[in-house]
Structure 1
């Protein structure tokens, strides 16, 4: 086979000779460019497939119409502990019966493409694509590409565990941020620490009202010992909490107001005339005990 240069491109010619009866030699030939191009494409595809199988964490396999393995190759075989050609000759339905995807494979052999995600097998996790083969010239009826995603799957499991831990921590923080204590029968206390903004005030109010309803408390003490700064918004939130407590038939009491906070509340013109206020938590508890005996 050799090329013949032409203006429109090379023309590949295959030739052979034959000696005839009179001693002459006849030369035969025909153009084989299409065949050569097909062979080149096949060689390239074979090279690409080999490069993919040898360098990516995949297993490429093929089965016939009965599910018998015809091909098994790929770098991921090593990770799965599969010897070379271990699958060839075995039946996929019998070998992986416990996986429970026999019906899916049967449909794929019949011509329906499929995809399974993160399936555990051989101690690894796999994404597998099932590609039907419709070429009657091929013995294979289904080609599979199984991608080893164990690292990603384990990372996802680890991330999910971390998110669950964060959620548990947030729940603990939330409980610590709203520590409602039943200090006596019918008496609740809510130590408030830090800034009380709109979002936190809503959480405090919701938790406190639920506790009042659940315990049927008669008194709810809001202890401001841990609050260093009070603005108009904070004072408004406190008054609303006390009003909401009163609607449930309980009395709201303020305690632990610092001198600086007292000056701020007076300067803001907040009306606390209808609110029971005590300097210390002990005084508020004594008030509740006396009032409870009446």
Structure 2
């Protein structure tokens, strides 16, 4: 085959220029890569057909250049051409340029560099530990700002086995499943004095041999805030229980006589609590009389009026007599409006009268 024809059909870009860097040869590969026909390129300055993003083509005049990447401007971006030159023997000033398009490679390199930069930014600024291990559970990588917070030296984990190192954590089975390909997640695990939220991410066909990537996020601040809030809620609930007990004390004023002075608003929920406390006290003390003193209550809802009567009836079922005292006029009106039957309920205006009633009944 004719050498010139071989160059024309070569898989590489082949461009020839004269001493003035005017194009004298332009093969088929150059046509495809630069989308420019040979007829449109030959006879024009190389810098005009292939304008460089930076630098000039003048170094080609020396010939025999080592490979380098040239960035060529184009309307929609740039070509990246890895090329080298060769001076043509016996033809003064003529140079042949060989090259191939490395745009995809350069784009992949740029993306890899960007991913590396983003990874470093995450490791350096977020309170995380990034780690990876192989199929045996041996750590291949450890990095991240949170390692310092946990007082774990850089690369301390590398070479160690996750199953042996964290056996006491009891999540070896979970990690084994993750290495086998099942993603997993643990929340609020305590380690090194901190709380961690960890994602276990299986990987496959990684040239490094990694089979599991882990992202451990330090959530200690949020966890401690949660524990503090939970403690406050529990404290408030205990305080409310004490307040409820104090607001409805049960006093054994005489042998077999219980008095429960009720203060404040009595709604349906509180009436149920009062009934429970009263019935337990009657059972515990074997009382014969239970006095509900409503002197400190001015308002009850419609359901509570019925509950008061039910309390008296429940006390009677335990063998004691229930007595109401200190009914406020508004409560009396509510009970009348509701048609509450008090015909079988002992009612006294004052606590003193109720106590006299109990003493008389006890002596009889």
| TM-score, reference length from structure 1 | 0.84
Q: Closer, same or farther in 2 for the Cα pair 1:200/1:113, shift >3 Å?
A: closer
Change (3 A) 1:236 1:71: closer
Give 2:289's aligned residue. Answer: 219
Q: Note the residue ranges of structure 2 that are not aligned, 5 or more in a row.
A: 1-68
* Partner deviation per Cα, 1:162-206 (whole Å, 9 max, x = no partner): 111111112112212322223333221111212334443333334
Query: Are the structure 2 counterparts of residues 234 and 68 from structure 1 closer, same or farther at C-alpha, using a change threshold of 3 Å?
Result: closer
Q: Does 1:96 align with 2:145?
A: no
**Correspondence for 1:17 among 44, 61, 85:** 85
Matched, 1:65 2:130: no
Aligned position for 2:195: 125
1:49 is paired with a residue of what secondary structure? helix
**How far apart in 2 are the matches of 1:97 and 1:234?**
58
Q: Return the alpha-carbon distance in structure 1 between the equivalents of residues 240 and 157 of structure 2.
A: 50
* Paired residues for 1:135-214 under 5 Å: 135-214=205-284
**Paired position in structure 2 for 1:51:** 121
Contact 2:251–2:260 (CA under 8 A) maintained in structure 1: yes
Distance change (3 Å), C-alpha of 1:73 and 1:237:
closer
Q: Does the C-alpha gap of structure 1 residues 263 and 20 become closer, same or farther in structure 2, counting only changes over 3 Å?
A: closer
Partner of 2:110: 40
Q: CA offset at residue 231 of structure 1? A: 9.0
What CA distance in whole angstroms lies between the structure 2 residues aligned with 1:141 and 1:237? 66
Mapped partners of 1:11, 1:146: distance in 2: 41
- Structure of greater relative contact order (alpha carbons < 8 Å, 6+ residues apart): 1
The answer as to whether partners of 2:267 and 2:301 remain within 8 angstroms in 1 is: no
Q: Is the 8 A contact 1:127 1:147 kept in 2?
A: yes
1:114-145 per-residue CA deviation (whole Å, 9 max, x = no partner) reads: 11111111111111111122124222222111
How far apart in 1 are the matches of 2:171 and 2:89? Answer: 68
Change (3 A) 1:242 1:141: closer
Give the count of matched residue pairs: 291
Find the partner of 1:5 among 70, 73, 90. 73
Alignment CA distance shift 1:263-1:187 (3 Å): same
Q: 1:201 to 1:3 in 2, by over 3 A?
A: same
Mapped to 1, the partners of 2:204 and 2:334 lie a distance apart of 86
Structure 1: gaps of 5 or more residues: none
